[in-house]
Each structure stands twice: as structure tokens, then as C-alpha cells.
Amino acid sequence: MRTVDVPGAFRLVVPGNVRALDPAPAMFDAMLRGWEKQQQSRLLAKKTIGDRLSLVRRFALFTATYPWEWTAEDVEAYFSHQLSGASPLAHSTVRGQQGDLQMFCAFITDGRYGWASACEEAFGQIPVQVCHDWNTADHVAEYEGRPGRRALTYDELQTLFDAADDLVEQKRKRRRKGMLAAWRDAVMIKQVYAYGTRRRETAMLDLPDLRHNPRAKQYGRFGALEVRHGKASRGSPPKRRTVLTVPEVDWIVPVLEEWVDEVRDGFSPGGHPALWVTERCGRIGVRRLDEVFAAVRDHAGLPSELELHCLRHTYITHLIEFGYPERFVQQQVGHVYASTTALYTWVSDEYRNRLLEASMARRLEHTNEEGLRPR
């Protein structure tokens, strides 16, 4: 196949009048630069590209060979290693990494980019596709997350909130410096549940994202939350959505109001717009959100398998149990497909029993009506 001037092509990455002293590592680095340019042309996120390049480097380091020397057996050995040990990778992570490695091999073996012919000329070998159906995982289950990721029960949720408030009270009584931070953490965890936001969505919230809802004037400027940094599709900018404050969790309104009007200024944020600020007057980080949840969870004595994202599962589950239509729930949490929302739903036995009792009551009523009809 003829080489053309496409982003990431060999002739655009490697100058024709330059010869490397050590050609093998130079060729590998050039491949990675070419793949980076090819992905940038597809408008993929910087983090996505960085993670993929890092994976390819780790794979090459594990095999101690270069891409034109890789074999299918290398793939099997690498992922067998990743799935062994005390902390094996999740199934979804393995599938994602295998897909990324397969894409890299597809890139360097595509004749339009010229990498295969360049390797043959320089090393007498050409790269091949080493990821096949028989050495990669199939996507056979709808949900591949860790079993411990689930919705909290109502009692667990209350215990979590009580533990967060208790940490604030402990710092206050001891006159500790971290009281404001503990207060922020307690409110932040409650906000994550009350609006079902993801980690990055939460960290990127600004004060102007607190919005009025003309249909719920009683909530003032806390009638809705404008999420501007929602999870993006590949090659697309972050998605936006407006999350309405629902009556069942309107207790969040005075909690947020107190934080915004009274507590937040204690951090001296100045003109910083972030809703959640740090002691250094910056925006709170995504990793810090996980650390906050883990500390509160452990203080509450809840299972260590629970993580911050479980609050999003809990929010979706509770909206369903509150009786909101599935389409409304889907829009609240920003899911493209209803099937994704369904995977997040963990309705309680009590809720299912209520549905069963209601169905039995309707059937009994229908039977009685049939029995009263004249024949």
C-alpha cells in the first residue's frame, strides 16, 4: 500500500537525511511520536493518549524487545503477569489495555503510515498484529466492575454522613487546624450523593455552577447544578448537563448555603471560582476526593470495598426507588444509554417487595371486579 502524508506517518516523523547511531530505540521512539500525532489528529484527550503510550512502553520493557519483534506469546505472558499477584487488574482494565495494544499494532502495521516498510529496510523484520481473538478477552458481561462497587443502603449512607460530621466535631473540640477542611469534606461528600456527580465533575465545579430553577424557587440559587465537565466521548469535548435538585434530597440546600456563605471564606480563596477549595487556595484534586471518602468510610466502619463512585450508584438507585422515570434519571446522571443507568441501579429488597405488593393488590382488585360481574 502506498505511503501517504497522514498524521503519524513515518516520512513525517523521521527526517530522511538523519541516521541514528542506535537505530532500534530511535525507531521505537519515532513510532510512539507518530502514534501520538495520529491520536491527536483524532482529538483524543491528552490523558488518554498518555495512558496508551505508557502502556506500550511498559509492554516493551516487559518483553525486552521492540514492536517488530513482538509475538502473540508476549501478549499472553504480559497479561498473565498482570492478572497474577496480590492486586490483579480488573477485567475491564485488562480488556481496555488489550484494546490499546491492538490499536498500536494496527497503526504500525498499516501500510499507509510506512512503519512496516521502514522496519523491514532497517532491521529485516516487520511488525505484525499480535493481539487476536484467541489471546484477548471478550466482552461477555454487561457489568465488569469490581463486585464491591455497589450502592450504599440507607443506613450505610446515614452512617457515612454521621461519620463525616463527627470528624468535624472532633476537630472543633480539639481546636485543630483542620476543622475547616473536615467541614469542607463533609459537605462535599453529601453533594456528591445529592447530585450523583463523578469525581472530576465534582472537583471542577465552580460557584457559578450553582443555578436557580424557576420551577423550584424555594431552593434559591441551589435549585440546580450545572455540570460542565461531564465524561466525554472519545474525540469530543466534555459533556454538559444540568442536574436538578430533587425534593427528596433538598436537605442539601441549607448545607451548601452554609458552606458557600459562611465556611468557604475561611480558606481565603480570594477570586478563585472553585466550589471546593484547598487550604492553599487552589482547586481540590480528584485524588484528594478518593482520600477524603476513604478516611470518612474507615471512620464510619463501612466495608473497605466501598469507594466514592458508590455514592453515584446510590443516587441512581434512590432516584429509581423514589419513583422517578428512567429517562429522568438518565438525564440527571448524564448517561447516553439507558442500559448504563440500569447497570448502576441496585434497588433494595424493600423496594422490590413494595412493587410486588402493589402488583398483587392490583391483581386482587381485578379478580374481585371479575367476580362481581353478572354472568
**Structural domain boundaries in the chain:** 10-123, 154-355
Helices marked H in the chain: 10-13, 23-40, 46-63, 72-82, 91-109, 115-123, 154-173, 179-195, 199-203, 252-258, 286-300, 310-322, 326-333, 338-343, 349-372
C-alpha cell at 275: 466550589
Q: Enumerate residues 6+ apart whose C-beta is below 8 A from 277.
A: 184, 264, 267, 269, 283, 284
User: Residue 323 region, left (φ>0) first, then alpha (ψ -120 to 50), else beta?
Assistant: left
Tell me which amino acid residue 19 is.
R
- The pair phi, psi for residue 210, each rounded to 5°, is -80, 120
Q: How far apart are CA 35 and CA 5, in angstroms?
A: 14
What is the distance between the alpha carbons of residues 15 and 29, in angstroms, rounded to a whole number? 13
Decide whether 10-123 matches 154-355 in CATH topology. no
Whole-angstrom Cα distance, residue 224 to residue 214? 10
Superfamily (CATH H level) for 154-355: Intergrase catalytic core (1.10.443.10)
C-alpha cell at 38: 495520529
Written out in words, the top-level CATH class of the domain with range 10-123 is mainly alpha
Each residue of 262-283: b (16+ CB within 10 Å) or e?
eebeebebeebebbbbbeeeeb
Interhelix angle for 115-123 vs 91-109, to 10°? Answer: 70
- Compute CA distances 32 → 52, 258, 272, whole Å: 10, 50, 38
pTM (two decimals): 0.72
The pLDDT profile of the chain, 375 residues, written as one tens digit per residue, is: 454 578 889 989 988 767 778 899 999 999 999 999 999 999 888 989 999 999 999 999 999 999 999 999 999 999 999 888 778 888 888 889 999 999 999 999 999 999 999 999 999 999 999 999 888 887 544 444 555 678 899 999 999 999 999 999 999 888 767 899 999 999 999 999 999 999 999 999 999 999 999 999 999 999 999 999 988 876 678 899 999 999 999 999 999 999 999 999 999 998 999 999 999 889 999 999 999 999 999 999 999 999 999 999 999 999 988 989 889 999 999 887 666 676 666 666 666 666 666 666 777 776 666 655 444
For cell 398483587, name the residue: 360
| The three cell numbers locating residue 225 | 447544578
User: Which set of grid coordinates corresponds to residue 50?
Assistant: 498518555
The residue whose grid cell reads 492553599 is: 280
Helices (H), 23-90: 23-40, 46-63, 72-82
The residues with which 210 forms a beta bridge, in sequence order, are 225
Grid coordinates given for 282: 487552589
What is the rounded CA–CA span in Å between residue 183 and residue 190? 11
Q: 107 to each of 3, 32, 234, how far by Cα in Å?
A: 13, 10, 18
